[in-house]
Amino acid sequence: MLCINGNITEPWYNLALEEYMLRNLDDEVCFIWQSTPSVIVGKHQNALAEINYRFVVQKEIVVARRMTGGGTVYHDPGNLNFSFIRKGEPGKMIDFRKHTGPVVEFLRSRGIQAYPGPKNEILLNDLKISGNAEHIYRKRVLHHGTLLFNTNLDNLRDALNADPQKYLDKSVKSVYTD
């Protein structure tokens, strides 16, 4: 497996690099990266319905769309992002536990009693510390996730605090857990 420790914190660059590696490399990849403050929206979501637009503009927080589904997430330098790109058999590629399992094991080896949650997230003391999503391209799968360790939780909360009555549409809504 090719392991890459990203040193560029530009979220669009890192999301584009994930897609490039998925579509163009034969190697399996583990990519670890961080971002400047940003909101990353899932491919089926209405960005304006997911974010607090005024707050995001005021704080100059980048908004980007990723190629995977799932809910909107917040990134900043206190958030570690991980991406796994692997080969797989058709019909057996979507396997969140296969990819979150090693992250949970690593955290436990460091004395952090994390565990997988029912919605493909990783929890600690019943609080979500990692959201995850996957995308299949031909015979390859991209699995990526976030890992909160020192994130500015006020900015996370405020950036994702959209007015639910402002945008009524048929897009997929994020499901927030406390």
Enumerate the domain spans of the chain.
2-97+129-159
For CA atoms 34, 69, 44, 87, the dihedral sign is positive
pLDDT for residue 94: 81
Which amino acid is it at 152?
N
Residues 109-168 have pLDDT tens digits of 999 999 999 988 999 999 999 999 999 999 999 999 999 999 999 999 999 987 655 555
Residues 107-125 have pLDDT tens digits of 999 999 999 999 889 999 9
Q: Report whether pLDDT(89) > 90.
A: no
pLDDT for residue 92: 80
Q: The domain 2-97+129-159 is classified under which CATH number: 3.30.9.10, 3.30.2350.10, 3.30.930.10, 3.30.365.10? A: 3.30.930.10
pLDDT for residue 174: 57
Residues 3-29 have pLDDT tens digits of 999 999 999 999 999 999 999 999 999
Residues 25-66 have pLDDT tens digits of 999 999 999 999 999 999 999 999 999 999 999 999 999 999
